[in-house]
Amino acid sequence: MTATDALVRPEPAITEHFDVLIVGAGISGVGGAYHLSTQRPGTSFVVLEGLDSFGGTWWMHRYPGIRSDSDLHTFGYRFKPWVGAPIATAEEILKYMGDVIEENDLARHIRYNHRIASARWSSEDNRWTIDATDTATGEARRFTAGFLWMCQGYYRHSEGYTPEWPDMDKFEGQIVHPQTWPEDLDYKGKNVLVIGSGATTATVVPAIAADCAHVTVLQRSPTYFIPGRNRNDLAETLRELDIDEAWIHEIVRRKILHDQAIFTRRTFEEPEVVRRELIAGVRQFLGPDYDIETHFTPKYRPWQQRVAFVPDGDIFKGIASGKASMVTDEIDCFTPRGILLKSGEELQADIIVTATGFNLSVMGDIQFQIDGKPLDFADTVTYRGMMFTGVPNMLWVFGYFRASWTLRADLLADFVCRLLNHMDAKCAKRVDVTLRPEDKDMELLPWMDSNNFNPGYLMRSMHLLPKRGDKPEWQHTQDYWREKDEIPAIDLDGPEFIYS
């Protein structure tokens, strides 16, 4: 579909209006619906979701073993205690989210199979017009809303990222991306080659290794992992003491966040020490003779990319048992039987899994217009990684990389509710963020400092994202510990907000 097609569509028979329209029923959108209905009970709102159920990431990823890589005490919402083991399967996360929807009567606000194609702001009406397609019937649906709450995540759900390697078409086996894992993929007794060594690989490999003839993990460069037990001792102790689950949730969250703050600080202050500790953690599982130097000694500073927690060291146990093995090399080309490496070695496989990451999607691939003019988000400057200059009445939930995503979804939900209350008190219909006089000469930089955080999907698509400035107000600092105090304290009458 071209940009013009998306905007010139058959007129839907009716237009429904809501005070707030939430895009996406993933963990952020469902959280937004909860906060809106509890903090602003009179607000009318709808959640539009392109898929046929809630869960987002946890609904559409179906590869074997799919699980979180951060703990659910902090990935869970602030308001709903997590009572299971820290690392959870997608099924457990969906059950938790389903409970939130049911307990708070949120289902009536959610419309599934509604894929949004365009969002147009009119300054005359102070409203967004949102055009969606009902993917079940093909019918056009139109909505208007006073405020747009973007909870569409950050990557394209329909397909993952697979680099173009020479001669891929010559491979006679099957090539699979974890994001579109075929339900009937038969890997039993097969040789499977997994390309990439991030969190997905750490999840898939232990889940399939026992059934495969062998699993080879091919990585261009090593990744950091934190092996540990999938159990939170503090939570268990508090449970033995019969403490209320709501208290346990709060205490355990504080303890985890306290420990993570120390860890994050140390990765900047003493990266070499942290690096040695992380590598020693892996060595414990693989023994003194394993070539850790080649396969598990990353070149980057810890935390420049997400560090995946590996429950009970399961991927390392697979390697130690001989069911899985690591190869660190580069791909020269695909061959009919597998992959030829730059070293000259050929890896043979029946199935190749490309665990090579995501394609970034800016605002759910929705075509935006402001007063009839197409909007390119790369031309905007972000206010704290949540609002954008020149884009009224809109907020995007982009979570944390070094802490659980949902911590920010909760914080920003409080912010949206506070902002809407403030607008009501001022009888304002529109809010914009704008650079202050002292920001006018500020250098505009790419969305993320690659020295701070540099995963491939961000590096590939940084040019599509809004710009950041050199002050905390004009960037997504990725610093939960700072934002937990700063965001609730934002002065909504500060010069960066304009109301009308």
Ligand X SMILES: Cc1cc2nc3c(=O)[nH]c(=O)nc-3n(C[C@H](O)[C@H](O)[C@H](O)COP(=O)(O)OP(=O)(O)OC[C@H]3O[C@@H](n4cnc5c(N)ncnc54)[C@H](O)[C@@H]3O)c2cc1C
Burial class (CB in 10 A: 0-12, 13-18, 19+), 454: middle
Q: How far apart are CA 396 and CA 92, in angstroms?
A: 26
Nearer Cβ to ligand X, position 116 or 433? 116
Nearer Cβ to ligand X, position 409 or 431? 409
- Site for ligand X, rule CB under 6 A: 23-29, 48-51, 56-57, 61, 68-70, 75, 114-116, 151-153, 157, 364-366, 397, 399, 404-405
As measured in angstroms, the least distance from the Cβ of 103 to ligand X is 19
Residue 278, Cα to own-chain centre: how many angstroms?
24
Torsions phi, psi for 47 (to 5 deg): -110, 120
Q: How far apart are CA 326 and CA 221, in angstroms?
A: 11
Q: Amino acid identity of 408?
A: R
Nearer Cβ to ligand X, position 386 or 397? 397
Q: How far apart are CA 279 and CA 415, in angstroms?
A: 40
Nearer Cβ to ligand X, position 151 or 339? 151
As measured in angstroms, the least distance from the Cβ of 106 to ligand X is 14
As measured in angstroms, the least distance from the Cβ of 300 to ligand X is 20
| In 177-270, alpha helices (H) | 199-208, 233-240, 245-269
Contact 447, 473 (CB under 8 A): no
Nearer Cβ to ligand X, position 29 or 146? 29
Helix, strand, coil tally for the chain in percent (to 5): 35, 25, 45
As measured in angstroms, the least distance from the Cβ of 181 to ligand X is 11
Q: For residue 350, what are its two tokens? A: 């029946």
Nearer Cβ to ligand X, position 140 or 340? 140
Give the residue from 310, 197, 257, 273 showing the smallest Cα distance to 76: 257
As measured in angstroms, the least distance from the Cβ of 92 to ligand X is 12
Nearer Cβ to ligand X, position 191 or 304? 304
Nearer Cβ to ligand X, position 45 or 75? 75
Nearer Cβ to ligand X, position 15 or 434? 15
| In 405-455, alpha helices (H) | 405-426
| In 135-223, alpha helices (H) | 199-208
As measured in angstroms, the least distance from the Cβ of 71 to ligand X is 8
As measured in angstroms, the least distance from the Cβ of 93 to ligand X is 8
DSSP secondary structure letters along 268-293:
HHSHHHHHHHHHHHHHHHH-TTS-HH
As measured in angstroms, the least distance from the Cβ of 73 to ligand X is 11
C-alpha separations of 59 from 24, 167, 207 in Å: 12, 33, 18
Q: How far apart are CA 273 and CA 50, in angstroms?
A: 45
Give the residue from 49, 54, 38, 153 showing the smallest Cα distance to 97: 54
As measured in angstroms, the least distance from the Cβ of 27 to ligand X is 4
